[in-house]
């Protein structure tokens, strides 16, 4: 079976005067639109461009493009074609091998509506209590259901094109009609990445923020407003589904949480930067993390609310060191209804 082909319209780029995908980038310095146009045309024409080597794989240009034309996916394809590695080869090989679908998976009592744990064991500690009554045991986990979006970080679009159709088929074969995705990576895969490659998704992806909003409204009588100020750590894969960002405000509103207005949020958000550490080195990654955390402190954040387990691993203890309480979005909801948190930090900063 031939691999799926990226649906990319060059005429949309020709009509774009702003070159938003590059000019908006926080990690490449393209303030000159003429230079940005020149370099982006090189990418389109499959020529060598500084973009291919400078890209930090933050996904942001997917959100910046006003046409939904998937500039980041094109960058990934060009990097792979030219053998430009955004991470060390052993790490890329490890990810390709460890997530290969080889029949290792866990399926709960799956019903038409199910949870996707993808391949993230962190999530098991979170999915407990009143918030998940009636659905916690209807879930799928493992390589056979792994969304594969992580290979965007490693310039391996070919792996996604090869494996994603099988993943979609595996989910369909479980009889799932609605899949509640517990991570942006999965939701973004099924709503953006799949469509970009013309892969049909025969079930309805539901972002777990939408699910939480519905459950919190059902549990409104037991919510005790938290009356706290929080920074939101928006992860890289949220760039694939920016339409879900309003749910952060909706959930915060239901919980009595103020989302502080700061420099590095929403479209201007900074990544956790751990993936940058592999490609750009520790000094680059440390600087991004420092700016992000200092921004939280400057604007008076009491809590840092996480969505992504990788962001948690990279930043939770560092936020705590600065006097900011790290908390996952699900645990924030649990806090408001008087339930115990699933992800916590020990004195050493390790998860317990």
- Alpha-carbon gap, residue 311 to 313, rounded angstroms: 5
Q: What is the pLDDT of residues 85-130, one digit of tens each?
A: 998 899 999 999 989 988 767 788 888 999 999 988 888 889 999 9
- Average pLDDT for residues 218-237, to the nearest whole number? 97
18 or 79, which is more confident: 79
| 232 in the same domain as 192 | no
CATH assignment of the domain containing 234 = 3.40.50.1860
- Alpha-carbon gap, residue 179 to 56, rounded angstroms: 30
| 242 in the same domain as 289 | yes
Domain range for 307 is: 221-336
| 108 in the same domain as 76 | no
| 331 in the same domain as 232 | yes
- Average pLDDT for residues 241-252, to the nearest whole number? 97
Tell me the sheet residues that pair with 326.
Answer: 304
In a domain, 317, yes or no: yes
Of 154, 184, 211, which residue constitutes the final position of a domain?
211
Label each residue of 298-337 as H, E or C: HCCCCEEEECCHHHHHHHHHHHHHCCCEEEEHHHHHHHHC
| 183 in the same domain as 107 | yes
Residue 350: band (very low, low, confident or very high) from pLDDT cuts 50, 70, 90: very low
Give the per-residue pLDDT at 2: 66
- Average pLDDT for residues 178-190, to the nearest whole number? 96
| 228 in the same domain as 331 | yes
DSSP helix/strand/coil, 2:
coil
In a domain, 246, yes or no: yes
Burial label for 128, CB within 10 Å (0-12, 13-18, 19+), is: middle
Residue 349: band (very low, low, confident or very high) from pLDDT cuts 50, 70, 90: very low
* pLDDT-wise least confident of 15-19, 163-167, 188-192, 232-236: 15-19
| 129 in the same domain as 202 | yes
| 111 in the same domain as 26 | no
Of 38, 57, 82, which residue constitutes the final position of a domain?
82
Its sign, for the CA torsion 27, 33, 39, 43, is positive
Its sign, for the CA torsion 176, 213, 306, 349, is negative
- Alpha-carbon gap, residue 96 to 322, rounded angstroms: 36
Cα first-last separation, the chain: 45
Residue 347: band (very low, low, confident or very high) from pLDDT cuts 50, 70, 90: very low
pTM score of the predicted model: 0.94
Give the per-residue pLDDT at 1: 56
| 184 in the same domain as 261 | no
Give the per-residue pLDDT at 104: 66
At residue 339, φ and ψ (nearest 5 deg) are -110, 160
In a domain, 342, yes or no: no
* pLDDT-wise least confident of 135-149, 193-207, 317-331: 135-149
Its sign, for the CA torsion 42, 43, 49, 50, is positive
Q: What is the pLDDT of residues 9-62, one digit of tens each?
A: 999 998 888 899 999 999 998 878 899 999 999 999 999 999 999 999 999 999
Count of structural domains, the chain = 3
Of 24, 58, 82, which residue constitutes the final position of a domain?
82
In a domain, 345, yes or no: no
Residue 351: band (very low, low, confident or very high) from pLDDT cuts 50, 70, 90: very low
Is a pLDDT exceeding 80 seen at residue 151? yes
Tokens 């980038």 correspond to what residue?
A: 25
Q: How many other C-beta atoms lie within 10 A of the C-beta of residue 307? A: 22
- What's the Cα-to-Cα distance from 127 to each of 34, 116, 177, 335, 341, rounded to whole Å? 49, 11, 20, 14, 10
| 236 in the same domain as 180 | no
Q: What is the pLDDT of residues 264-278, one digit of tens each?
A: 999 999 999 998 888
In a domain, 346, yes or no: no
| 152 in the same domain as 237 | no
| 106 in the same domain as 31 | no
Q: What is the pLDDT of residues 274-309, one digit of tens each?
A: 988 887 889 999 999 999 999 999 999 999 999 999
In a domain, 78, yes or no: yes
- Alpha-carbon gap, residue 155 to 57, rounded angstroms: 9
- Alpha-carbon gap, residue 138 to 220, rounded angstroms: 24
In a domain, 351, yes or no: no
In a domain, 1, yes or no: no
CATH assignment of the domain containing 118 = 3.40.50
């Amino acid at each position: 079976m031939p691999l799926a082909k990226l649906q990319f319209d060059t005429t949309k780029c020709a009509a774009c005067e702003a070159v938003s995908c590059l000019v908006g980038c926080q990690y490449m310095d393209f303030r000159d639109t003429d230079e940005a146009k020149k370099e982006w045309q090189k990418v389109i024409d499959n020529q060598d461009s500084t973009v291919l080597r400078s890209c930090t794989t933050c996904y942001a240009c997917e959100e910046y493009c006003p046409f939904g034309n998937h500039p980041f996916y094109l960058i990934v394809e060009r990097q792979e074609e030219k053998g430009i590695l955004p991470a060390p080869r052993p790490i890329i090989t490890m990810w390709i091998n460890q997530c290969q679908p080889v029949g290792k998976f866990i399926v709960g009592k799956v019903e038409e509506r199910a949870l996707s744990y993808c391949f993230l064991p962190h999530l098991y500690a979170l999915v407990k209590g009143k918030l998940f009554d009636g659905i916690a045991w209807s879930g799928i986990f493992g390589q056979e259901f792994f969304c594969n979006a992580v290979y965007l970080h490693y310039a391996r679009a070919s792996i996604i094109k090869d494996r994603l159709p099988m993943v979609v088929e595996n989910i369909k074969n479980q009889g799932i009609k609605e899949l509640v995705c517990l991570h942006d990576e999965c939701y973004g895969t099924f709503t953006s990445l799949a469509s970009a490659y013309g892969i049909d998704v025969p079930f309805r992806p539901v972002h777990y923020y939408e699910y939480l909003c519905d459950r919190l409204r059902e549990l409104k009588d037991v919510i005790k407003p938290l009356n706290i100020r929080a920074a939101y750590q928006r992860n890289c894969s949220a760039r694939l589904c920016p339409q879900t960002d309003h749910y952060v405000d909706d959930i915060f509103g239901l919980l009595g949480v103020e989302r502080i207005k700061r420099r590095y949020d929403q479209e201007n958000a900074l990544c956790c930067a751990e993936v940058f550490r592999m490609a750009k080195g520790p000094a680059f990654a440390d600087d991004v993390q420092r700016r992000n955390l200092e921004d939280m402190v400057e604007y008076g954040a009491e809590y840092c609310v996480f969505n992504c387990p990788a962001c948690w691993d990279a930043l939770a203890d560092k936020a705590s060191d600065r006097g900011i309480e790290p908390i996952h979005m699900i645990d924030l909801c649990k806090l408001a209804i008087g339930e115990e948190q699933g992800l916590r930090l020990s004195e050493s900063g390790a998860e317990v």
